[in-house]
């Protein structure tokens, strides 16, 4: 009888929490941009710390992708599996590279005698290294979602969520939704403009005009930028090669020429520059 208030409290709290969650889910169903509302509150509460929080969540998603392994040092001498026991050539290569890197690290980084390493490794290292793939990769989404809520400007979270939705879950509509929201919240991101272009090229939601618009935005965003990071660099050339392909299909040599100029300004020796130049030559030589 004395516990009745506590039990009533528990039931009340659970009901209130369920109500809040239901309202949030309904708002979510209305496709509100993820992170807009939450972003404001978190910005007030956490300030710039929310960026670190989002980064930590993206790292957690990476750990989930590796089947829960957060420290690659733990992966020495394990058997590597992909999916339900299948091996994956690409993953094996990545894994071999990791092992070589860690062997090198071990050579250079000796922390002295470690009496506890054996127990720690036994508890923390999986006997089999499994990557999440296919439908099971839905387990990654909560972390990307939380990262995007914590910091709506975390481009990596949006981009990775898009990649998982498109390539692993094979859900093109979900991928488009994520790309649109990410782009809406980050209009100056070259990577997310390119991502949106890729999303519109997916079969189920194909819209070439919108894809081209997004790719063009990605290329335009590079103007006036002094330096590009690796992701932006890759996104720029991806968007540019898509635009070059459609310009060639249209036979639009002025557009192709403008693209070649833009590509040369960023990296004159990039293979895409050579590709666009060849396409332009072929177009000009055609009768």
Interacting residues toward another protein by CB under 8 A: 3, 6-7, 9-10, 13-14, 16-18, 20-22, 24-25, 28-29, 34, 64, 67-70, 109, 111-112, 114-116, 118-120, 122-124, 126-128, 135, 138-146, 161, 165, 169, 171, 174, 177-178
The candidate with the shortest Cα–Cα distance to 205, out of 237, 230, 171, is 171
Q: How far is the CB of 262 from another protein (least distance, A)?
A: 33
8-state DSSP, 73? G
Q: Token pair for residue 1?
A: 């009888």
CB-CB neighbours of 153 under 10 Å: 17
Dihedrals φ, ψ of 151, to 5°?
Answer: -140, 95
Q: Token pair for residue 85?
A: 């026991």
Q: How far is the CB of 202 from another protein (least distance, A)?
A: 16
Spatial separation of the C-alpha atoms in residues 34 and 57, rounded to whole Å: 16
Q: How far is the CB of 87 from another protein (least distance, A)?
A: 18
Q: How far is the CB of 246 from another protein (least distance, A)?
A: 29
Spatial separation of the C-alpha atoms in residues 25 and 29, rounded to whole Å: 6
Nearer to another protein, 13 or 49 (CB): 13
Q: How far is the CB of 173 from another protein (least distance, A)?
A: 10
Report the Cα–Cα distance between both ends of the chain, in Å, rounded: 94
Q: How far is the CB of 155 from another protein (least distance, A)?
A: 16
Dihedrals φ, ψ of 79, to 5°?
Answer: -90, 140
Spatial separation of the C-alpha atoms in residues 244 and 237, rounded to whole Å: 10
Placement of tokens 């618009």 in the chain: 213
Nearer to another protein, 144 or 237 (CB): 144
């Amino acid at each position: 009888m004395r516990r009745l208030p506590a039990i009533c409290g528990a039931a009340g709290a659970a009901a209130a929490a369920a109500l809040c969650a239901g309202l949030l889910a309904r708002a979510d169903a209305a496709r509100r941009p993820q992170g807009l509302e939450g972003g404001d509150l978190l910005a007030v509460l956490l300030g710039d710390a929310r960026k670190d929080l989002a980064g930590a969540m993206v790292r957690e998603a990476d750990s989930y992708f590796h089947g829960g392994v957060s420290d690659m040092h733990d992966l020495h001498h394990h058997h590597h599996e992909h999916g339900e026991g299948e091996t994956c050539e690409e993953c094996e290569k990545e894994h071999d590279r990791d092992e070589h890197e860690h062997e090198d690290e071990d050579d250079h980084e000796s922390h002295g005698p470690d009496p506890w390493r054996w127990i720690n490794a036994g508890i923390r290292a999986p006997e089999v290294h499994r990557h999440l793939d296919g439908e099971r990769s839905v387990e990654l989404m909560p972390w990307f979602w939380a990262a995007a809520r914590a910091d709506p400007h975390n481009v990596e979270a949006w981009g990775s969520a898009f990649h998982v939705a498109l390539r692993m879950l094979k859900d093109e509509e979900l991928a488009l939704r994520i790309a649109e929201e990410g782009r809406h919240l980050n209009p100056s991101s070259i990577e997310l403009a390119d991502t949106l272009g890729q999303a519109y090229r997916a079969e189920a939601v194909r819209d070439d005009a919108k894809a081209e618009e997004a790719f063009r935005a990605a290329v335009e965003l590079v103007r006036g930028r002094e330096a590009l990071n690796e992701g932006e660099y890759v996104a720029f050339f991806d968007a540019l090669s898509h635009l070059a392909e459609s310009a060639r299909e249209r036979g639009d040599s002025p557009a192709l020429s403008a693209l070649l100029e833009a590509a040369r300004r960023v990296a004159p020796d990039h293979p895409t520059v050579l590709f666009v130049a060849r396409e332009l030559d072929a177009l000009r030589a055609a009768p």
